[in-house]
Amino acid sequence: MSTVMLAEILEQPEALRRTLRRLEPLGDDLARLGTGRPQVLFAARGSSDNAATYGRYLTEVVAGRAAALVAPSVATAYRSPVRLEHALVVVLSQSGETAELVETLTWARGCGAATVAVTNVGDSSLARHADLVLVTEAGPEHAVPATKTFTTQLAAMAVLAGALAGAPLAGLEQVPGAVSDLLEHRTGVDAAIEGLLARPRTIVTGRGLGHAVAAELALKLEETCLRVVPGLSYADLRHGPIAVVDDQTTAVVVAPRDGPVLDGLTRLVPDLQARGAAVVAIGGDAALAGRADVAVAGPDLPEVLAPIGLVVAGQLVVEGLARRLGLDPDSPRGLRKVTQTELGVRR
């Protein structure tokens, strides 16, 4: 059975190429807007919030600027004035019509911040209110779960971090090709689906730059496969939640091919297995693959860019699992493409 979700996953290499062609020329504008603003704050909801988490890590690791996630309720519910003259505020919304986020961006400007909108719709309300707009080129997305809109948001975060650092991230031009290779070969994807089918409980873990991917894949498993799935940093997992891991659990470990978090993620695998869990590794190196029960190939990309490919590998697993469970990943139960909150549209 072919799904819209799978078709949109397969569109991602070209969506990434279009997005990078559009956004890379804005690097100088982003650098100027961020001049004299040592802090970068991100605001988002849903999948966009996970993209913002990647942006936060990149901003600190690559650009050396303090970064954090804004709580939109500070702006929309409490309406608290906050001094933001020192801040660049980046607001992400795939539709650009999330009323809560449009209001948050307007609040930030009123508090003295410079603002950047990241959206897939160039004439959206969010875009009209921002000082600078990063329009992703995902094209229309029809399946309810965000795939290509999320992945192009990650690309926008990479462009932003490079601009604030003063130089584009090395290897960024290789991202579309690396994603294309993953989609062509699907190495380990079918075995991972079988592993997740075999046990009723799932957890997803990563760390650092990959934490955003762990959170996003957990969200995708929840909305498409109707499982309650925590997505945790492995440091947080060790601080208590690991107690729920047993022989009814499949643990998905998301890892880059290199970098300072890889060793800790690799050492986590036998601890999970000792508690009875089956381990599916997405990405990592040969050592991680050798310890895991199932290994899904990750992208041939450096750690700072790996999340853009890792999430695509995970999307393939999620889409296939939903179909094997007899579910429709295009239209998950009780969900719509946009979600209403008391303050408006959430996406």
Q: What's the CA gap between 57 and 66, in Å, rounded?
A: 9
pLDDT, tens digit, for every residue of 314-336? Answer: 999 999 999 999 999 998 875 55
Task: List Cβ neighbours of 35 (8 Å cut-off, separation of 6 or more).
Answer: none
Pairing mode, if any, of strands 278-283 and 249-255? Answer: parallel
State the alpha helices, DSSP H only, in 115-174. Answer: 125-129, 148-165
The amino acid occupying position 155 is A
pLDDT for 346: 39
Contact predicate 39/87, CB 8 Å: yes
At 47-64, the pLDDT tens digits run: 999 999 999 999 999 999
3-state secondary structure of 308: helix
pTM of the model: 0.95
**What's the pLDDT score for residue 333?**
75
pLDDT, residue 64, reads: 97
Find tokens 């799978």 and name the residue.
6
- The Cα–Cα gap between 267 and 264 comes to 5
Tell me the pLDDT tens digit for each residue of 115-132: 999 999 999 999 999 999
Exposure class string for 25-59: b at 16+ Cβ within 10 A, else e: ebbeebbebbeebebbbbbbbbbbbbbbbbbbbbb
What pLDDT score does 344 carry? 45
